[in-house]
Structure formats: structure tokens, C-alpha cells
Structure 1
Amino acid sequence: MAKPPARPPTRQLADRLRSAKGRTIGSQRWLERQLNDPYVKEAKARGLRSRAAFKLEQMDDRYHLLKPGTRVVDLGAAPGGWTQVALARGAGRVVGIDLLVVDQIPGAVMIQGDFQDAEAEHRVLAALDGQADLVMSDMAPNTTGHNATDHLRIMALAEIALDFAGRVLAPGGGFVAKVLAGGSEKDFLATLKRDFVAVRHAKPPASRKDSAELYVVATGFRGAARGN
């Protein structure tokens, strides 16, 4: 896959939607934003399943998370955009898991299940044929509009993703997970700093400016530190 442009794809003349009977103002605005979004256009042109794929590409460009032969687990993989990027950038084995059914992606193993279940974790490790080099999560809960509640919900997802990573990562491995503005919770960040050599917060250019999302990027897993 060709290296993505340093700047967002050039916006074409704005696409407009005609008002449709029964469509709410909110849904009309969302659809217009989607059609006018240059990343949505570029994702469609490149056959990527989501605009979120560009976020992983941009973080990989900066932090070099994906290397030839890397074993990758994509938590909450639907619809599969991050899995596509991992494969295109040379990952050796990619296993995606989601509660939803995800259409298969050539070269990857897509599993329907809850990664918190021991049986599902066993299936992931069997498909990897070894420990993971990178665990990544773009999971986000349904938002309520209440900032404190939404922050707690997304941090809960990040924490269970980190717990999973601590069991399956090989020493030196990496971890990427979505959080919200305000950074990571103190205990969560302390665990990351204990277990990884480097911990950073990132907001890739493809993340919408009006979005509160951030990503935590941790590299250099200290496997022995957890006593696993």
C-alpha cells in the first residue's frame, strides 16, 4: 500500500444532501459531514472499510508500531479498517475479534466473540500461533452526551483491553487504545508506565477536531514486570 499523503486528501466541491422527509436535522448534518469528509472519500477510493484506518496509519507513521512479521490483535475490530492497515503494512498475523460478525478479510482471522472470555482468548492465541507483538483497540461505547459518564465508559474499555494485552503481549510489544480528552485515569496511566518503556498520548490528524478522542500509545512491554 502506498504511503498516505502527509496532509488530508484534498477536499472536492462540497457534496450536499437534499432534505428528506422524516430526516432529523441531526441526521442530516451527520450525513452531510460524512459525504464532505475527505477521509471518508479517500477510504472509499482505497477500499478501506472505515475512515478510522487513517488514524492507525498516521500513528504508525509516527511511532512505527507495525513491522514486517508483527503479530497483531485488533480488539473490537468491526468493521475492519485497522485490520486492513495492519495487513497492508506487513504484519505477519492479524487476528480481529468483535462481538459483531465482521466480514472476512483475506490474510486475517476474524473471530466473533468477547475477548474477555477465556475460550475466545484461547482462539485468538491459537490463531496468532504465539504471543502478540501489538494489541490495538479502537473500541468506544455508545455515548450518552454526559462527559463524565462517557469518559468512565471509554476508560473501562481501555482498561479491559490493557488487561488482555498484559496476558498476550510478548516482551517488547506495543499497545494502542482509544481514550478521551483529559487523558488517561491516574491508575491506568500508572499501570502503563510500569509495564511499558514509553507511554504517549496521540491525536492523529484524521481524528476530527471536534472529537474528544485521544489514543494512548505504549511501546516496549516489560513482560517480566507483570510476573506473567
Structure 2
Amino acid sequence: MKRTKTSKSWMMEHVNDPFVQRAKSEGLRARAAYKLMEIDDKDKLIRPGMVVVDLGAAPGSWSQVAVSRVGQGGKVFALDLLPIEPINGVHFMQGDFHDAEFVERFEALLDGRQVDLVMSDIAPNISGIPTSDQARSIYLAELALDFANQHLGPSGRFLVKVFQGQGFDAFRKQMEDVFRSVVVRKPQASRGRSAEVYLLGSGRRI
């Protein structure tokens, strides 16, 4: 298939992106790692000994960051429909995180420990139809919120990528029904023209 001018310009921007170049030099799987690093540095999400769940983890850059910060006493679970290359110290599970049987296997691996942080950088496969893509994005965020609400401990926190647009305000209200504090984060590594932001929920309402 012949590349369009748009795809060529995106590829040029991607190749020249300083975060892409930095990720390659530092052995990180994607530039998205720096989004999590910046949010974590600001909000102190990840601490030694924590149990962290990375939803939609592929290719694994957020799990790379998490496992480097939880230390040997912590645990990182990476869940995705897609396979990922192994990451030392990360427990990867391939499957659907809202499938009951899959969730049962995940809960067995927790061995009674509570989850301290659920994070989701999931984005839908883009169809090119804005209304459809936005609806699918919100739906994935809702699934991630439901998972977090089911598995977080009393002091657990939830970080999720959401695209601003139709359904954004309603989803934020859903998060506010679960968490006492919901704040918006737009890290520098997130491209300025992108509608993506991250919502961070803290202070879970029990």
C-alpha cells in the first residue's frame, strides 16, 4: 500500500521525536514510558513494595517503569490481549481483563494481596471515524475503571488515558463517584496536538 502524505509526515515526526530517540537509547520499549515517569514523579504513584497492575500493557514500557520502581518487594502484573516480550520481574498474563475466568486466574496469583495501583494506557485501534474511535476509547476506560474498582485496596489509585471529546465529562463523573479526588494530567511526552490526557483517581470511596 502506498503511503499517504499524512503517514509519511507522521513517520518523519516519530523518527525525529526526542522522546522516541531517548527511549531507544535507554532501552525502553516506547516513548510512553516518559509519560508515566513524569506523572509518577509529580504524584508519587509508585513506591517500593507496591502491587501494580498495567492494563493493556503491550509493548511493555509502563511495566518497565513500574518494575524498576516497586523494587524486589513489589509486584507488577502486565495484562494484555496481545503478547509481549518478557520483562524481568514482571508477571505477564495474556487475555481479556474483563473476562471472568481470566480475572479468577489473576486473583489467584494475587495470593490475598491488595492492588495498590491500576494503570491503563489503552487506546483503541483507530478506525478513522472520530465518533466511533472516541466511543471505543471511553468504553475501554470504563472497563479499566470497573477493574480498578473491583481490585484496588482502600488506599489504591487509578491512572487512565482518556481522549477529550464526547463522553469525557461523563466518564470523569464516573471516576468521581469512585474516587474523592480526580485530577487531569498532561505530561510533556504527550504530543501537544493530541487530545489524550490522563485522569488520576485517589481516595477511593469505600
Q: Are the structure 2 counterparts of residues 187 and 34 from structure 1 closer, same or farther at C-alpha, using a change threshold of 3 Å?
A: closer
Contact 2:77–2:92 at 8 Å: present in 1 too? yes
Q: Is this contact kept in 2: 1:155–1:185, CA < 8 A?
A: yes
Q: Which has the larger radius of gyration?
A: 1
How many angstroms does 1:183 deviate by? Answer: 8.1
Helix, strand or coil at the partner of 1:89: helix
TM-score of the superposed pair, with normalisation by structure 2: 0.92
| Unmatched segments (≥5 aa) in structure 2 | none
Q: Secondary structure at the match of 2:102?
A: helix
Q: 1:51 to 1:99 in 2, by over 3 A?
A: same
Post-superposition shift, 1:47?
A: 0.5
Contact 1:136 1:177 in 2 (8 A): yes
Task: Report deviation, 1:133.
Answer: 0.5
Q: How does 1:187-198 map to 2 (within 5 A)?
A: 187-198=170-181
The CA deviation at 1:90 is 2.1
- From 70, 73, 81, give the equivalent of 2:61: 81
1:180 alignment counterpart:
163
Residue type of the alignment partner of 2:70: G
1:203 to 177, 181, 186: 186
Q: Which moved more, 1:193-202 or 1:139-148?
A: 139-148
Which residue matches 2:199? 216
Counterpart in 2 of 1:99? 81
Task: Map 1:45-60 onto structure 2 (within 5 A).
Answer: 45-60=25-40
> Partner of 2:97 in structure 1?
115
Asked whether the 8 Å contact 1:109–1:127 carries over to 2, the reply is no
When the two chains are superposed, the root-mean-square deviation of aligned CA atoms in Å is 1.8
Match of 1:145 in 2: 128
Counterpart residue number, 1:163: 146
- Specify the SS of the correspondent of 1:200: strand
Bigger shift: 100-109 or 178-187? 178-187
Tell whether the 8 Å contact from 1:52 to 1:81 is kept in structure 2 after alignment: yes
Between the aligned partners of 1:118 and 1:166, the Cα distance in structure 2 is 15
Say whether the 8 Å CA contact 1:95–1:127 is kept in structure 2: no
Identity of aligned residues (%): 48
Deviation at 1:48, TM superposition (A): 0.5
Q: Map Cα deviations across residues 37-74 of structure 1 (whole Å, 9 max, x no partner).
A: 00000101110011001110011111111011110111
Paired residues of 1:183 and 1:201 also in contact (CA < 8 A): no
TM-score (norm 1): 0.83
Aligned length: 203
Which stretch of structure 1 is more off in the superposition, 159-168 or 182-191?
A: 182-191
Deviation at 1:30, TM superposition (A): 2.2
Instruction: Kindly indicate whether the alpha-carbon contact (under 8 Å) linking 1:125 and 1:131 is maintained by their aligned counterparts in 2.
Output: no
Aligned residues of 1:95 and 1:128 also touching (Cα < 8 A) = no
C-alpha contact (below 8 Å) 1:176/1:216 kept by paired residues? yes
Determine the C-alpha separation between the residues in 2 that align with 1:142 and 1:38: 25
Q: Quick check: 1:174–1:218 contact (8 Å CA) kept in 2?
A: yes
Instruction: Give the Cα separation in 1 of the matches to 2:86 and 2:104.
Output: 20
| Equivalent position amino acid for 2:90 in 1 | A
